[in-house]
């Protein structure tokens, strides 16, 4: 038995075996570390004495907290709240949050009030975190169908993390690990600054993710534009808001059903895989996938077909431009 597990079991006064049974590793045997959310990425550093201790980044569902409080139960962190494959509470089908809805602070803590159960409260204004966001409540009616669509994909990812083969009607010939690899790579590509980008400070809003705006996924923040983040898996440190946007885009890109693009990005949106390939730097896109078998054969084929459509469109555009230039020259004679 690992020493930390035993120490935690002693501190919490539960049996170590019972604690191990509740662990994420047990429930999600295929869980990769970058599919957990971290406050800081755990990585080897040159100066360990000044590096931050890796801690899980916790978001929460205000409805779970409100329900617990109403039932006089102590507040606790659900496993799903630290998984990078979810931006929603699947029990309440409600967006997860990571800041106080009253003052916007990211600081929170557990607190034992004079009366009533243990609560999660804001560390800045001391209000309890079970207050729902007003903009989310306002958006709920119109956004619900879109949220439900996004949640179906999150459930597939959570299944893949538990080693379950994805739905083969949706994700043809795709294994659990291929689905996770595809999501990781797509999220990285969506968030990556284009090569040659030399903006001072290194971050830019000229990233492919910003071609996938969906107001239902970002309630109260119309046309929100994200900054680049050059990491192998941006989901690992993303806020729930960024997570939802990345996962919604990845969902529509991987799932070839046109209904998915329509449900998430509207009836006029072109196929998400075409938007993805069109907005992506060629050099960057061609460098993926790193190895054969990393992506499923179906997805590799779909990406190749989208690249071909892009080439055809660009040849056609050049031809039209030349013909236009020719007509103008003729008119001037």
Q: Which stretch binds Zn ion (CB under 5 A): 26-34, 37-45, 118-126, 296-304?
A: 118-126
Residue of 122, 176, 190, 213 that binds Zn ion (CB under 5 A): 122
Q: Which is nearer to Zn ion, 130 or 181 (CB)?
A: 130
Residue of 31, 36, 37, 64 that binds Zn ion (CB under 5 A): 64
Minimum CB–partner distance for residue 226 and Zn ion (Å)? 24
Residue of 31, 84, 85, 100 that binds Zn ion (CB under 5 A): 100
Q: Which is nearer to Zn ion, 208 or 247 (CB)?
A: 247
Residue of 63, 93, 164, 309 that binds Zn ion (CB under 5 A): 63
Task: Tell me if 121 contacts Zn ion by CB under 5 A.
Answer: no
Decide the pairing of beta strands 88-89 and 94-95: antiparallel
Q: Packing angle between helix 258-265 and helix 134-161, nearest 10 degrees?
A: 150
Task: Tell me if 102 contacts Zn ion by CB under 5 A.
Answer: yes
SS3 at position 185: helix
Distance CA 56, CA 240 (A): 13
Q: Which stretch binds Zn ion (CB under 5 A): 85-93, 160-168, 200-208, 274-282?
A: 85-93
- Give 200-207's long-range contacts (Cβ < 8 A, gap of 24+): 202/228, 202/230, 203/227, 203/228, 203/229, 204/228
Q: Which residues pair with 122 in a beta bridge?
A: 108
Task: Tell me if 124 contacts Zn ion by CB under 5 A.
Answer: yes
Q: Which stretch binds Zn ion (CB under 5 A): 61-69, 201-209, 215-223, 287-295?
A: 61-69
Minimum CB–partner distance for residue 66 and Zn ion (Å)? 9
Task: Tell me if 131 contacts Zn ion by CB under 5 A.
Answer: no
Q: With helix as H, strand as E and coil as C, how does 100-138 read?
A: CCCCCCCCEEEECCCCCCCEEEECCCCCECCCCCHHHHH
Task: Tell me if 89 contacts Zn ion by CB under 5 A.
Answer: yes
Minimum CB–partner distance for residue 108 and Zn ion (Å)? 8
Task: Tell me if 78 contacts Zn ion by CB under 5 A.
Answer: no
Minimum CB–partner distance for residue 59 and Zn ion (Å)? 11
Distance CA 183, CA 164 (A): 16
Q: Which is nearer to Zn ion, 89 or 306 (CB)?
A: 89
Minimum CB–partner distance for residue 175 and Zn ion (Å)? 30
SS3 at position 58: coil
- By the 8 A CB rule, do 131 and 60 touch? no
SS3 at position 215: coil
Number of residues that bind Zn ion (CB under 5 A): 13
Give the count of beta carbons closer than 10 Å to the beta carbon of residue 296.
22
Residues near 123 by beta carbon (within 8 Å), at least 6 away in sequence: 105, 107, 108, 109
Q: Which is nearer to Zn ion, 140 or 167 (CB)?
A: 140
Residue of 16, 19, 82, 92 that binds Zn ion (CB under 5 A): 92
DSSP H helices in the chain: 3-12, 16-21, 24-27, 62-70, 134-161, 176-191, 240-254, 258-265, 272-279, 282-286, 297-332
Residue of 37, 61, 85, 235 that binds Zn ion (CB under 5 A): 61
Q: Which stretch binds Zn ion (CB under 5 A): 87-95, 159-167, 269-277, 293-301?
A: 87-95
Q: Which is nearer to Zn ion, 83 or 249 (CB)?
A: 83
Residues lying near Zn ion in the complex (CB under 5 A): 61, 63-64, 89, 91-92, 100, 102-103, 105, 122, 124-125
């Amino acid at each position: 038995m690992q020493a930390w597990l035993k120490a935690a079991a002693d501190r919490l006064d539960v049996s170590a075996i019972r604690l191990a049974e509740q662990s994420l590793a047990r429930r999600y045997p295929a869980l990769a570390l970058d599919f957990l959310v971290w406050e800081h990425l755990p990585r080897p550093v040159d100066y360990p004495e000044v590096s931050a201790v890796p801690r899980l980044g916790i978001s929460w569902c205000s409805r779970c907290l409100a329900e617990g409080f109403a039932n006089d139960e102590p507040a606790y962190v659900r496993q799903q709240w630290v998984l990078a494959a979810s931006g929603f509470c699947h029990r309440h089908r409600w967006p997860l949050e990571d800041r106080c809805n009253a003052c916007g602070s990211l600081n929170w803590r557990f607190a034992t009030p004079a009366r009533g159960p243990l609560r999660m409260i804001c560390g800045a204004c001391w209000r309890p975190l079970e207050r729902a966001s007003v903009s989310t409540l306002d958006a709920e009616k119109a956004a619900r169908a879109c949220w439900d669509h996004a949640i179906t994909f999150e459930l597939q990812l959570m299944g893949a993390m538990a080693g379950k083969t994805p739905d083969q009607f949706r994700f043809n010939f795709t294994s659990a690990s291929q689905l996770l690899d595809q999501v990781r790579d797509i999220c990285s590509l969506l968030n990556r600054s284009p090569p040659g980008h030399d903006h001072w400070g290194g971050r830019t809003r000229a990233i492919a993710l910003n071609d996938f705006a969906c107001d239902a996924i970002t309630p109260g923040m119309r046309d929100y534009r994200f900054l680049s983040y050059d990491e192998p898996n941006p989901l690992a440190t993303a806020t729930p808001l960024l997570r939802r946007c990345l996962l919604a885009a990845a969902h529509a890109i991987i799932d070839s059903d046109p209904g998915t693009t329509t449900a998430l990005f509207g009836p006029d949106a072109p196929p998400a895989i075409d938007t993805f390939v069109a907005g992506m730097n060629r050099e960057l896109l061609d460098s993926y996938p790193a190895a054969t078998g990393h992506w499923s054969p179906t997805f590799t084929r779909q990406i190749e077909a989208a690249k071909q459509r892009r080439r055809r469109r660009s040849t056609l555009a050049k031809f039209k431009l030349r013909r236009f230039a020719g007509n103008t020259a003729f008119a001037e004679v």
